[in-house]
Amino acid sequence: MEILVATRDRLLRVEPGDRGVTAAPELAGRPLTCLAADPSVAGRAWCGTAGAGLWRSDDGGRSWRHAGLAGEELTAVAASPVEAGLVWAGTEPRVVDGWRDPTRTIAALLAAGREAGELWAADERGVHRSDDGGRSWRPVAAFAPTPSGLRGLAVIG
Read off the pLDDT of residues 112-155 as tens digits, 9 standing for 90 and up: 666 677 877 777 777 888 888 878 888 887 776 665 556 566 65
Q: pLDDT under 50 in the chain at which residues? A: none
Q: How confident is the model at residue 147, as a pLDDT?
A: 55
Q: How confident is the model at residue 55, as a pLDDT?
A: 93
DSSP symbol at 27: G
Q: How confident is the model at residue 121, as a pLDDT?
A: 77
**Exposed/middle/buried for 40, CB within 10 Å: 0-12, 13-18, 19+?**
middle
Alpha carbons within 13 A on the beta-carbon side of 62 = 5
Q: How confident is the model at residue 52, as a pLDDT?
A: 92
**Exposed/middle/buried for 151, CB within 10 Å: 0-12, 13-18, 19+?**
exposed
What CATH number does the domain located at 3-142 have? 2.120.10.30
Q: Which helix (H) or strand (E) holds 45?
A: strand 45-49
How many C-beta neighbours within 10 Å does residue 83 have?
14
